[in-house]
Structure 1
Amino acid sequence: MAALRASGAAGHQYAFLQFTNNSARTCSLTGFPGVQLIRAGVALGKPAVRSGKPISRVQLAPGKSATAQLVGDSTCNAEKSDSVQIIPPNRTERFVAPLSLRGCPLTIDPVVLDS
């Protein structure tokens, strides 16, 4: 699992949450990950809300990846995160990855297969 910062655009900040199948068997992901920015071990802002984009089941062969795009409003004057807590779709385990984004409102897209 990785959080990859992407370029921003006027009023927006972007990151991609990448899920990689490290097992020897095909697995699947469906839907939206849970996402919460963290600063010094404490939740920053509110959890990301789900976008209105349609979901589909993503089959991941061993070594393959899927991503979910995280979009933030960068116009608020909130502190920046130092990490992000991620819960993969339809799972309960939590992962933390380094990521610096403003603690402004966030929207998360469903997972899609990497090309």
Structure 2
Amino acid sequence: MVGIYRLIGATVLGGAMAASFAVGTPASAQPRAALDPICQAADLGLSFGHAEGAAGTVYRAVQFTNYGDNTCVLQGFPGVSYVDGDGNQVGAAARRDGPAGSLVTLDPGATASAIVGFVQIGLFDPAVCQPTPVAGIQVYPPDSTESLFLEMPGQQGCAGDVSPSAQLKVLPMTDDPGA
């Protein structure tokens, strides 16, 4: 009988790797979370959590709540961009900040979040920024081609190219609900 065993230790000895295995301890073919499907937009709800300001940027938790019947996973960065009242993107999408992060397992009814930085557009040259009213943000959960909308009344975005700066910044998903 061929079995799969869990690697419990490895040591490099003179350029060669010596590994020790726990005989008789079968490893699961995949960790539990890897068996769970990727969270789909149709099963998620969005809301804003806490907000904090720093040096011309307001950081807000964008909360993802699993309203589906099954556990699902999220990892990496959501896609975030401003949109106008017709759903058209206004300016560049959010710039990703940091590494992709850990796998977040979201049980039914549970909430995870990603922090989004909203740069105050008054910091940009108005001729370059081209301030434009927006209806809110369009959010694509990580690894999803379907989006969700989160309303932001009275907000403006830059329709112009403000690079190398960014009007929006996004951090990776975390299991912190961001309340």
Partner of residue 157 from structure 2, selected from 103, 108, 111 = 103
Task: Check whether the contact 2:46–2:148 (CA below 8 A) recurs between aligned residues.
Answer: no
Task: Check whether the contact 1:3–1:98 (CA below 8 A) recurs between aligned residues.
Answer: no
Q: Which runs of 5+ in 2 are unaligned?
A: 1-44, 159-166
Q: Which has the higher contact order (CA 8 A, sep 6+)?
A: 1
Is the partner of 2:157 in helix, strand or coil?
A: coil
Q: How does 1:1-115 map to 2 (within 5 A)?
A: 1-4=45-48, 6-41=51-86, 42-74=88-120, 75-76=123-124, 77=126, 78-100=131-153, 101-104=155-158, 105-114=167-176
- Root-mean-square deviation (CA, aligned residues, Å) is 2.0
Q: String of CA shifts for 1:53-97, please: whole Å, max 9, x gaps.
A: 441100011110110111122123533422111110011111112
CA distance in 2, matches of 1:81, 1:4: 17
- Where is the helix percentage greater, Structure 1 or Structure 2? 2
Q: Which runs of 5+ in 1 are unaligned?
A: none
Identity of aligned residues (%): 34
> Which has the greater radius of gyration?
2
Deviates more, 1:41-50 or 1:94-103: 94-103
Q: TM-score, normalised by structure 2?
A: 0.57
Matched positions, count: 115
- Where is the strand percentage greater, Structure 1 or Structure 2? 1
Q: TM-score, normalised by structure 1?
A: 0.85
